Amino acid sequence: MNQFWENDFVQTAGYYSVAILCTIVFLALFELVTKYRNWEEIKNGNISVAMATGGKIFGVSNIFRHSISEHDSLINMISWGIFGFMLLLVGYFIFEFMTPKFNIDLEIQNDNRAVGFISMVISVGLSYVIGAGI
């Protein structure tokens, strides 16, 4: 049975499955902390929400990419992925804190594409910094 779990195809499928599941959970958590409903806004054509959400998906995926490549067990990969997500979430709150003149969530909900784009770039950029630390 050990040979089965050490097979590269089985390990890749396991990492893939766990990363997808964690991404879904993490997006649900992001949904809880934002004032808008991501998928409803995207369905209505809100490009800013799509960019911000795409940045979050890319950010989480990039963190897991680094976590998979640097750790040799599924538990370590998950642990570092969760830690990386927490850091990404903290980055979201710092972004909100650093812009006291306007509300990030409301601007994104109102389809302010400049704010949606910056939100996307922050998520992507932070994911590289977090990944380097993993």
The predicted-structure confidence for 66-108, as pLDDT tens digits, reads as follows 999 988 788 898 999 999 999 999 999 999 899 888 899 999 9
Q: Residue 17 CA to chain centroid, in angstroms?
A: 16
Q: How many CB atoms lie within 10 A of CB 46?
A: 21
Q: Which residue, among 39, 133, 47, 35, has the nearest Cα to 92 in the 3D structure?
A: 35
Per-residue pLDDT of 25-59, as tens digits, reads 999 999 999 989 999 999 999 999 999 999 999 99
Give the separation between CA 61 and CA 89, rounded to whole angstroms.
14
Q: In the structure, how many helices (H) and strands (E) does the chain have?
A: 7, 0
The residue among 89, 84, 79 whose CA lies nearest residue 18 is: 79
Contacts for 92 with CB less than 8 Å, ≥ 6 apart: 30, 33, 122, 123
Domain region containing 48: 2-133
Tell me the whole-structure pTM to 2 decimals.
0.88
Comparing 1-15, 24-38, 110-124, the range with the smallest average pLDDT is: 1-15
Q: Please state, in angstroms and rounded to a whole number, the distance separating the CA atoms of residues 87 and 85.
A: 5
What's the total number of domains in the chain?
1
Q: What is the pLDDT of residue 23?
A: 94
